[in-house]
Structure formats: C-alpha cells, structure tokens
Amino acid sequence: MQAAAAAARRHLLDQHHLSPASSAAIAAFRSAAQPALGPQGLGGADGARYMSARAPAVKGAGHLVRKGTGGRSSVSGIVATVFGATGFLGRYVVQQLAKMGSQVLVPFRGCEDSHRHLKLMGDLGQIVPMNYNPRDVNSIKTAVAKSNVVINLIGREYETRNYGFEEVNHQMAEQLAMISKEHGGIVRFIQVSSLGASASSPSRLLRAKAAGEESVLKEFPEATIMRPATLIGTEDRILNRWAMYAKNWGFLPLFGGGSTKFQPVYVVDVAAAIVNSLKDDGTSMGKTYELGGPDIYTVHDLAEMMFETIREYPRYVNLPFPIAKAMASPREMLLNKVPFPLPTPSIFNLDQIKALTVDNLVSENALSFADLEIKPHKLKGYPTEFLVCYRKGGPSFGSTVSEKMGSADVAPRF
C-alpha cells in the first residue's frame, strides 16, 4: 500500500509539474488541519479542537494564509471574533474583514436586531452573530472557540448603574486576553484603546484604558494595542452631537475656550489599520500604535468646520473648565442612580470635560499609520460630508453665511 501511494504521488508531481518543494509546502499546509488536542477543546468540552486548514502551520506565527483574489468570496484565513462589533468603529472593522473573505463572529447582547446591518457586509454565512453575556466566562469561551483572531472594541465613554469605566475598559479586556491565551489557537489579539490612555490622565476613562492595556499585555504579550484618537464618521459622537446641539439651542458651548489640541481621525482609516496589522508577517505583534489624523485641530477649529459644513452662523458660549465641571456634575451623579436615559445634553460629560483639560496628540516617536502603510484622510471634505443632513432645507439649501465669511471675520462669542 505504501509503495502504491508513493507511486501515485510521483505520478501527480509529474502530471502537474510540481516541484518537491511545492509538495512539501502543500504537506505543511495540510498539517495545519490536524487536530490539536487540549484539555478544553472546542467550546470548553474535553476532546480535540480542530484547527482551521487555513490557519498557520506554526503555532504562534503571525502570518495568516490567504487564498483567492482578495474579494468577499475569497478565503483570507482569518476567523475573527470581534467584540464590540455593533458599535461605531465595530461596523467598519467588520466591513473591512468581510470584504477580504474573512469569517467574522459578532458577539452581541441585548436587542436581536443590533447586528442586522452587519449581515450584508460579508458573503453568505460569513457574518455569524452570537448572543453572549460579557460577564459569563463560558459565554465568552464559546464566542472565541473556533477563531484564530480576537479583536476587542468594547468600550464605554460614560458610566451607568450597570457598567462602570473600570469594568468595561479594564476588567473585560483582561478577561478576554486571558481566555484567548488559554484557548491556544488565537494567533492575533487586537486591543483597541484610546489615544491619551495614561495612568496619570485626569480622565477616569483614559486611566481605565491604560490599565486595560497593561493587563492585556500581561496576559497576552503578543497582543497589538491600537490607540485611536477621537473618531470622526457618519455615526460619530462628537460632530453629530455638536450639530444637533447647535441646531436646537442656536449656539455651542466651548469648554475652556476651545483651545485644547487634538488629532481627530477618520474612522475608516482606523479600521483599515486594524486589518492591515492582521495582514503582516507578525511585525505588529506586541507593539502599540497611536492613530491620529494628519492635522492638529483645536476644539474651536473643529467646531468652525462643523458650522461651515452645516451652513449655520457660528455662535459660541465660552465656558471655563470649573463652570463646565460644575454644570456636568449633577448629570454625572444621576447617571449612576436612575434606570433610564437622561434628557440632558450629552455633550456635558464630566469625564470628557476633564479629558479636554490637556492636549491629546500622537507622541513624537510612536508607531502610527505610516508603520501600517496607511495614509490617513484629511477631515475636510468626504469624511465630514455626512453633516450636510443638518442643513436647513436640505443638503443643497440653507444659509450660506459661514461660506461668505472671510478668514479675518471673527465669530461672535457670548
């Protein structure tokens, strides 16, 4: 039998003109499909856990084998569980993964319709929603059981009576990293943090993010940390809120005079950076990337761009930081006590006001978009085009006062 099998292999090589080296590569490729025995196996049960035939043959390798032309019907070799996929950044990460032929598992909690918009982003059966409980270890293990990539986008910019900064941004990240390491087949772990994350930050959110980064690297040293700046896009939580506030109240409050500097970034660029880190040969493993936009803005500069786009005359109320904090404190206290959303303007977020007391810029020697071969978009133009929906009378109508203002014109301040 062995002699017959050897003769058949020689005949196959001669027929298809395959070299012995190619044959060895095919054998190595197939060897990745052999069962990897572990104490937990798939889903945590005792038995064999079968690795994907497209997973790397070498355990711990960063490179994922691809097959096909690169479209949504190809096979990227990536089976990714994306925690936080139903959020703002999550939908763009899922779209970038799905369009290259990846299978994406989407853990969700709450409403069963929260993932519907993601189903169309991939080929048939490639977007797999899974109901899970972020506080249930077995639920998380089931969500990552068949994956070779885990991306953590879980985050919360405000606290409620159910979830606090420390649990969401630190403890959950630590738990995901620990479970992924125990899994044995997770070759890439991406932790999405925030630019400015530091143990000394005035913001409790950013301090929790920094603690989450430290815990992730302790549990999963090969993890890649992404620190995006303030995200700008169709569903963002800064320009949309400003525009709605300005339309409803006729002015926009500027905390601290709007002099804080930051580097807002287009959300699509951040999603592309995350996916590019998965395509490399492992060079991004264990590294931290700071993802800021190409231009530095003050809060006032970005507000001016917003008013110009929605074609409204810019009106501001300058609120010194002590007054802004005093105005936001009652809302912050109620958020942790009442079981329903508050009707107060969401721009009065005490923790975000504290974060604005210091500039938030990319560090001088930090790894950035350039190291992931991405050129980020400038914000003015297409990335902020969604704001035209706030124009009075529609996108092509409304006041053009701000468009006629020259650079020497000074916007009125209260």
Q: Is the dihedral of CA 14, 17, 18, 21 positive or negative?
A: positive
**Does 324 have pLDDT greater than 70?**
yes
pLDDT for 322 beyond 60: yes
**44 within some domain:** no
Instruction: Decide if 42 is inside a domain.
Output: no
Distance from C-alpha of 259 to C-alpha of 301, rounded to nearest angstrom: 9
Q: Residue 212 — very low, low, confident or very high, per pLDDT cuts 50/70/90?
A: very high
- Band (pLDDT 50/70/90 cuts) for residue 284 is very high
Residue 367 has a CB neighbour count (10 Å cut-off) of 18
Asked if the structure places residue 40 within a domain, the reply is no
Which of 47-51, 87-91, 179-183, 336-340 is predicted with the least confidence, judged by mean pLDDT? Answer: 47-51
Average pLDDT over residues 119-144: 93
Q: What is the pLDDT of residue 341?
A: 74
Q: What is the pLDDT of residue 150?
A: 97
Give pLDDT tens digits for 186-198: 999 999 999 999 9
Q: What is the pLDDT of residue 73?
A: 81
Is the residue at 299 inside a domain? yes
CATH number, domain with residue 158: 3.40.50.720
Q: Tell me, what's the pLDDT at 66? A: 63
Please tell me the number of Cα atoms within 13 Å of 302 on its side-chain side: 30
Residue 309 placed within a domain: yes
- Compute the Cα dihedral for 162, 164, 167, 168 and give only its sign: positive
pLDDT recorded at residue 50: 34
CB distance 174 to 212 below 8 Å: yes
For residue 34, name the pLDDT band (cuts at 50, 70, 90). Answer: very low
Q: pTM, whole model, 2 decimals?
A: 0.80
Domain membership of residue 356 (yes or no) is: yes
For residue 77, name the pLDDT band (cuts at 50, 70, 90).
Answer: confident
Query: HSE on the CB side for 403, CA within 13 Å?
Result: 8
- Cβ distance 374 to 265 under 8 Å? no
Domain hosting residue 320, numbered range? 50-404
Q: What is the domain count for the chain?
A: 1
User: Is residue 58 domain-resident?
Assistant: yes
Q: Does any domain span residue 157?
A: yes
Q: What is the DSSP letter of 29?
A: H
* Lowest pLDDT segment from 108-112, 178-182, 256-260, 309-313: 108-112
> With 50 as the cut, is the pLDDT of residue 43 above it?
no
The predicted-structure confidence for 143-171, as pLDDT tens digits, reads as follows 999 999 999 999 988 888 888 999 999 99
Higher pLDDT, 402 or 363: 363
- Backbone dihedral region for residue 72 (phi beyond 0: left; psi -120 to 50: alpha; all else: beta): alpha
User: What pLDDT is recorded for position 383?
Assistant: 92
Of 248, 244, 189, 260, the closest CA to residue 221 belongs to 189
- Per-residue pLDDT band for 65 (boundaries 50, 70, 90) equals low
Mean pLDDT (the chain, rounded): 82
The mean per-residue pLDDT over the stretch 358-382 comes to 95
For residue 128, how many other CB atoms are within 10 A of its CB? 18
